[in-house]
Each structure stands twice: as C-alpha cells, then as structure tokens.
Amino acid sequence: MWINLIIYFATFVIAVVAYFKWSFGYWKKQGVPYLPSSIPFGTMNNPFTLSEAIADEVFRQYMESKALGYKYVGLYGLTIPQFMVIDPQLIKNVLITDFQHFTDRGFYYNEMDDPLSAHLFSLAGQKWRRLRAKLTPTFTSAKMKTMSKFVVSCGYQLRDALAIRCAQGPIDIKDLLERYTTNVIGSCAFGIECNSFTDPNNDFCKYTKKQFLPTTFHNLKMFISFMFPSFAKMIRMKVITEEVTNFFMNTVRESVEIRKGTSEVRNDFLQILIELMKSERSDNNGDAITIEEVAAQAFLFFLAGFETSSSTMSFCLYELSQNQDVQQKVRDEIDAVLKKYDGEITYDALKEMEYMGCVINETLRKYPPVPVLNRKCVLDYQIPNTDVTIEKGINIVIPLIGLQRDPDYFDDPEKFDPDRFTKSNMEKMTQFSYMPFGEGNRICLGLRFGLMQTKIGLLLMLKNFKFSLSDKTQTPIQLNPICFVLSVKGGIWLNAEKISEAK
C-alpha cells in the first residue's frame, strides 16, 4: 500500500513538474525573449513571502530586459504567459495605433455576484464601450469647475486639521491625506459630508478602511481575481465584501431618493450620474444606465480618488521636505496667483499654477501610484517588422515604473527635478515614456478631477505650512510589499510648521 502511495505521489510530482516546464516553454516557441522562470511562480516573486514590492519587482524586470537589449520580453505569472512591452513605439501601438487588438484590461468583474466590481476600469468589450460613451462627458473642464467648490471646502477642513496636528509632533501625512480624500470623494461621489477629521469612526470612514485594509485573505482574493479572473467569476468570489457592497449600494440609493424629493441640485459627480439615468429613461432607452451601474461608477470614483491622490500628495510633500528651494518656489507661485484672484481659490487660478503642475508631474513620474498598465490581447497581433505574433488572450504588461525611472529617458532619474516638465522640456520628452494616467481610449477619465483634488490639497497645505522630514521617516524609504498601490513601509512622517503670516 505504501509503495503504491509513493508511486502515485511521485507520478503526480513528475506530472506537475513536467506541466510547469512545458508551460515555461511557451515564449521560446513563440520566438520571444524571456526571463528565467522557476517553479511554481514563474518569473514573479512568491506573493506570500512579501519579499519585494510589486513596483520594485517590475522595475527590476524592466531594467534587466532593457540591459539585454530587449524591446519586449516574455514573463510568467505562475504558468500564465505575460508579455512585457519595453519599447515606447510598441507601447504606442498597443495603446493607440492598434488599440482594436488590446481593448480590454483583462481584469475580473462580476455584475451579478460582485456588482460594485462592474465599473468602467474593469469592464470589457461592448460593455466598456457603451459605458465609456455615456461617462466621457462627465469629466469635462466645465464639470470640474462646478465641482471645485466642494473640493475647496474639503481643502479648508484639511488646513484646519493640520493646524491642530502640527502642534502635536510629527505627522503621519498619508493618514491625514487619506482623510482629506475621503471627505472629497464622500462629498463629490456620494453627496455626503464625511467629517473624517472630526469623526474618524463614522460609517463612511469605517467601510473605506475595510475595503483598503491589506489583510492576508483580501490579498489572496485579489491575487486569484487578478491571475484567474474567469475562475474567480465561476466560483462567485467577491473581491468586495458583501458588507462593503451593501453599505455603498445603500448610500447611493438613499442619496438618489433624497435628491428626488428636493428641487435643490447639487452639481457633483453623483448628480451627473443621476441626470444621465433620468434622461435615458425619459427617452425610453432600453440601454439606460441602472442604479447598480451608478453605484459601481461612484465606487470606482472612490477607489481611484482615495488612494492615488493621497499617495501622490504624500510623496510630493516627502520630496518637497527634502528640497526646500522647490517647496518655497511653489509657495511663492501660490501666493502670486491667489493675489490676482483676491485670495479666492478657483479652477482658473489652479490652472495658472504651472510650476505646481510641474511638481505634481515629477512626483507622478518618480512615484506612479499604479506601477504598471495592463491590457489583454483580444485579437491575434503580429508585431510590425517581426515574425512574432501575440496570441489572443495574452496579458500585456506596460512597466510605468521602469519607463519613468529609465535614465535613457530621464537624466539622473532619482533626482526630484520639476523642471523636466516645463513646456519646452516636455516637447523633447520621449513619447510614451511618461503616462501615469495611461494613454489612448482607456486613459483615466478622472485625471482632471484627480489633479484638481491634488492641487487644492497641496495649495492649502503649502500656503499655510512649511514642511520638513521627521526622523521617524525611515530613509531611504522602502516600498510596502503588501500594497499594490505605491506605499511606504513605516509611513511618511513630516514636521509641519505654521507660517505666521498665513491667513
């Protein structure tokens, strides 16, 4: 009996090893250069040991491939082939020129069992095209202008909270800025006042933390949904817990019902979605946007605006704390522009703060909140001037963190230099070497809002406070391997000194 068990086990192990080795031969058969892989994780790190942040891993793979002269390289996530694009011209083909071959991201979504996951970022094919056509007019400059007053109001709350915190010692700046972005998203996407500075335990803050709390179980679900989206859908796995789903769905439904009963119109993101839903229903449009879709897009607004903007502002202040001359130059620009507008923070005033825009762009270059762009090949694609065909179903990886820290495109890439993004210097920049919001038809629709939210937060902090690095910040900083979005292990701790003449 034991001999039989040993034989069965040995046969099983041999079969598994043979399967992995056969799978790892895919790119060789396709004529694509590839990085060495190992059983069982392929070219990726063991996701359960958390030895290296995703951004660090992607950067390492990019630089290794670039050093070998590759324009593209084959990778494996477990046994799943992935195609990393190194060459900016080929990146242009994927994102724009030959977009019809790469329309989808290949991400998990499940409208029935996980309704909040069915948002614009993850949707594929015709469902994505339909919704994008409806939502594209949502984020025009005119719409941003009307929403800016809500963001400014939240910005003043941030300023007042910082005035209290700065007297209490070093500040965990990411925590403070997450409260600011929570207030902004709560106000603009859900029409509620969160008051996260004064009431950090309110329901909106509580469920926000639950969604972003990086537990082992949550990370496992994210890993499965990312690597095996079809399997995740088949087993009806919920990436967003039922508790969080119910809270956000009910919040949207209640806000919609409240607005039905009043003549007052609040010009925010939720109102735009409500008007879209009403206009399509009045036209007897059988393809009208549903309340579930409204909730999913509001939830996406929350996901995108909460983490990415707070991360960008945190890294920006980290760099400004070490570059006091740059910090003062931004502050001088803020004062000069606001003087022209009698101290009022308007959308037009924000647009005039060009140097602040350069500072934000340089922050996004060095610290892109999401280190990679993902696409999925939906039609076989032959790479121009080669015999290589990317087959339908292959996942495409575009390594933003590698491109944006590549010394071939950015001199001394570790240096924080906002002057890279002056108009004259941007004209010389290699196309598709800098794209923190993506490019092409799947570029982030909310980029205007994200930049506005970031500018207003930085404006009100830098106008009123001088920042320096606290000894509590571990330098050089290390990225947190448990987070997909760029985050610092141990946090970013800053000292904030109130500027006496601030109003």
- Residues belonging to the binding site are 444
- CA atoms within 13 A of residue 114's CA, in its CB half-sphere: 21
- Cα dihedral across residues 342, 346, 351, 354: positive or negative: positive
Q: Scanning the structure block, which residue is given the tokens 């500072």?
A: 359
End-to-end CA distance of the chain: 84
The runs of H, that is alpha helices, within 201-290 are: 203-212, 216-227, 229-234, 242-260, 269-282
Strand partners, 472: none
According to DSSP, residue 238 is labeled -
Contact 294, 471 (CB under 8 A): no
- The Cα–Cα gap between 276 and 257 comes to 15
Query: In whole angstroms, how far apart are CA 338 and each of 165, 327, 343, 463, 465?
Result: 25, 17, 5, 10, 16
Find, among 178, 189, 188, the residue nearest to 119 by Cα.
189
Burial class (CB in 10 A: 0-12, 13-18, 19+), 375: buried
Burial class (CB in 10 A: 0-12, 13-18, 19+), 1: exposed
Q: Scanning the structure block, which residue is given the tokens 């639950």?
A: 210
HEC secondary structure over 335-366: HHHHHHCCCCCCHHHHHHCHHHHHHHHHHHHH
- CA atoms within 13 A of residue 297's CA, in its CB half-sphere: 26
- Binding-site residues for heme, in ranges, read 444
The runs of H, that is alpha helices, within 444-483 are: 447-464
Query: In whole angstroms, how far apart are CA 291 and each of 221, 256, 262, 281?
Result: 26, 9, 19, 12
Q: What is the CA radius of gyration of the chain?
A: 24
Strand partners, 468: 495
Phi, psi of 336 (to 5 degrees): -65, -45
- The Cα–Cα gap between 270 and 256 comes to 8
Q: Where are the beta strands (DSSP E) in 22-68?
A: none
